[in-house]
C-alpha cells in the first residue's frame, strides 16, 4: 500500500524547487498550489507506478491532484 | 565509406512569442522556460510549403560547400510526415525540380518524425554504399505548423518549423559508427493527425521518452563496448525541456554533456538533431564522439554514435 511519506519522498527526489515534509505539508493541498505542474505529475506517476507495480490509466490522471488523492487511489 | 561532410539549415525568421501564447492558456513564464524550453517558435509563411523550406536549407548547404555542385548529387532523401500538398507526388521529386538536380538523381521521401534524422542517415549511407554512389543530401523538414491546432495547449506551445540539409559523402568529417533502432506501434494513437489536426497524448509521449530513451542509449553503448564517459556530447531530439531533463537524470555524472538548446526553435521534429550538430558540435574542437537519439511519433526511436574522422580534419566552413 502506498503511503503519503512515500509520495513525499518521490516528490523530494524529483529535483523540483519544492521540499516537502510530512509535518508541514498539507497532503490535501493541490499540486498546482505546491508548485507542481502537470508535467511534474507525469514524472511523479512514473515513479509511483514503478514503486507500486500498478499503472494509472490516462483517464484517471486528472483526478490525482494531491498527495492524498494519489494515496487514496492506490488504497 | 559514407559519412557526414556538412550540415546547413533554414529557420524561418517569423516567430511566435511563446510567453504570450502561454498566457492564453493560463500557463506561467516559468512553465515555458523550465518545462517547454522554447521562448519562441519559428513559423513558415502561409505561402511556403515543405519543399520551399527544404530548398532553402539545401541552398544554404551549397553556399557553405562551394565544392558541392548539383551535378555531383546522386541521391536526395527528404524526411517528412508533412509533405507538399497531399503527399503525392513525393516532396523529394518536387525538390529535385526546384533545385535543378540531375535527372539521374534518386529522390525519395521517408515518413518518420522525431527519430527520422538517424534513420535517414543510415538509410542514405546504406543506399549510397550499396549502389556505388558518392554523394547524397539528407533533408529534414516537418513543419508541424501545418497541422497544429492553435487552441491546443500543449502542441501549440511546443513545435517550431525548420529545415536542415546534410551532405553525406565519401571522405566524411564524421563517420556513422553504430545505431540501434526500435518501434512500438501500440503507441501509434499517442501522436497522430486526424482531420488535418495534430492530436498528442502528452502523458504517454512523455512516458515513452522518460522511460525508454535512457535504456535505449545505454543498450547501444553496452553493445559497442563504449562507456558513457567516452561520449563528448549527447545530442538528443529536443522534444521539450522536461523530456530532456527526465532523460538526462539517468546519466547523473555526465548530465552536463546533454545539450539542451531549443529556446529559439522549439521542437523541430526531425530537424532538431541536425540543428544541434550544426550549431553546437561540428565546429567544436573538443567534441570527437557524439551520441544522437531521436524518439517520438510511431512510436519510433533511433540512437546512434558518430565520431570525428581523424583522417579528414579539413574544416568546411
Angle (deg, nearest 10), helices B91-99 and B50-64? 50
pTM over 0.90: yes
Cell 507495480, residue? A53
Residue B154: predicted pLDDT: 83
Between A15, A37, A58, which is nearest B204 by CB? A58
User: CB of A43 within 8 Å of any CB in chain B?
Assistant: yes
Between B35, B203, B245, which is nearest A58 by CB? B203
pLDDT in tens, B141-159: 999 999 999 999 889 999 9
Is the CB of B207 less than 8 angstroms away from the CB of A15? no
Shortest Cα–Cα distance, A71 to chain B (Å): 20
Cα A43 to the center of its chain, rounded Å:
9
Please name the helix (run of DSSP H) or strand (run of DSSP E) that holds residue B24, with its range, or none. Answer: helix B18-24
pLDDT in tens, A52-67: 999 999 999 999 999 9
Q: Are B160 and B265 in contact (CB under 8 A)?
A: yes
Rounded CA-CA distance B141/B91 in Å is 10
Say yes or no to pLDDT of B188 above 70: yes
Per-residue cell: A48: 509511483
Is the CB of B249 less than 8 angstroms away from the CB of A15? yes
pLDDT in tens, B10-46: 999 999 999 999 999 999 999 999 999 999 999 999 9
Between B35, B210, B240, which is nearest A46 by CB? B210
pLDDT in tens, A11-62: 998 888 777 877 777 888 999 888 899 899 999 999 999 999 999 999 999 9
Rounded CA-CA distance B121/B306 in Å is 11
Is the CB of A58 less than 8 angstroms away from the CB of B35? no
pLDDT in tens, B130-141: 999 999 999 999
Burial pattern B92-105, b for ≥16 Cβ within 10 A else e, equals bbbbbebbebeeeb
Residue B37, SS3 per DSSP: coil
Say yes or no to pLDDT of B315 above 50: no
Rounded CA-CA distance B158/B262 in Å is 10
Residue B312: predicted pLDDT: 58
Is the CB of B210 less than 8 angstroms away from the CB of A43? yes
Across chain B, what does the average pLDDT equal? Answer: 96
Q: Are B145 and B43 in contact (CB under 8 A)?
A: yes
Amino acid at each position: 500500500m502506498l503511503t503519503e511519506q512515500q509520495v513525499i519522498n518521490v516528490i523530494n527526489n524529483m529535483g523540483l524547487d519544492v521540499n516537502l515534509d510530512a509535518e508541514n505539508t498539507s497532503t490535501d493541498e493541490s499540486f498546482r498550489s505546491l508548485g507542481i505542474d502537470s508535467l511534474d505529475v507525469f514524472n511523479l506517476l512514473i515513479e509511483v507506478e514503478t514503486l507500486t507495480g500498478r499503472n494509472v490509466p490516462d483517464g484517471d490522471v486528472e483526478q490525482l491532484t494531491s498527495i492524498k488523492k494519489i494515496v487514496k487511489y492506490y488504497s | 565509406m559514407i559519412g557526414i561532410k556538412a550540415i546547413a539549415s533554414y529557420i524561418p525568421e517569423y516567430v511566435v512569442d511563446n510567453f504570450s501564447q502561454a498566457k492564453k492558456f493560463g500557463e506561467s513564464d516559468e512553465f515555458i522556460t523550465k518545462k517547454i524550453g522554447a521562448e519562441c517558435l519559428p513559423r513558415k509563411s502561409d505561402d511556403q510549403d515543405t519543399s520551399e523550406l527544404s530548398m532553402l536549407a539545401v541552398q544554404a548547404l551549397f553556399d557553405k560547400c562551394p565544392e558541392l555542385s548539383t551535378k555531383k548529387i546522386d541521391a536526395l532523401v527528404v524526411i517528412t510526415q508533412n509533405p507538399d500538398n497531399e503527399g503525392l507526388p513525393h516532396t523529394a521529386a518536387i525538390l529535385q525540380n526546384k533545385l535543378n538536380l540531375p535527372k539521374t538523381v534518386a529522390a525519395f521521401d521517408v515518413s518518420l518524425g522525431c527519430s527520422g534524422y538517424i534513420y535517414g542517415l543510415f538509410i542514405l549511407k546504406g543506399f549510397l554504399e550499396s549502389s556505388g554512389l558518392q554523394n547524397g543530401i539528407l533533408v529534414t523538414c516537418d513543419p508541424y505548423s501545418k497541422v497544429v491546432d492553435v487552441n491546443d495547449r500543449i502542441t501549440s506551445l511546443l513545435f517550431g518549423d525548420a529545415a536542415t540539409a546534410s551532405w553525406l559523402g565519401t571522405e566524411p568529417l564524421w563517420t556513422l559508427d553504430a545505431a540501434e533502432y526500435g518501434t512500438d506501434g501500440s503507441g501509434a494513437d499517442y501522436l497522430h493527425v486526424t482531420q488535418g489536426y495534430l492530436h498528442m497524448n502528452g502523458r504517454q509521449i512523455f512516458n515513452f521518452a522518460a522511460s525508454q530513451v535512457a535504456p535505449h542509449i545505454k543498450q547501444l553503448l553496452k553493445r559497442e563496448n563504449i562507456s558513457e564517459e567516452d561520449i563528448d556530447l549527447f545530442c538528443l531530439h529536443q522534444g521539450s525541456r522536461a523530456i530532456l531533463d527526465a532523460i538526462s537524470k539517468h546519466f547523473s555524472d555526465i548530465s552536463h554533456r546533454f545539450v539542451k538548446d531549443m529556446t529559439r526553435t522549439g521542437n523541430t521534429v526531425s530537424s532538431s538533431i541536425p540543428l544541434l550538430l550544426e550549431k553546437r558540435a561540428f565546429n567544436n574542437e573538443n567534441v570527437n564522439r557524439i551520441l544522437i537519439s531521436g524518439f517520438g511519433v510511431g512510436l519510433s526511436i533511433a540512437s546512434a554514435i558518430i565520431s570525428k574522422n581523424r583522417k579528414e580534419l579539413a574544416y568546411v566552413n
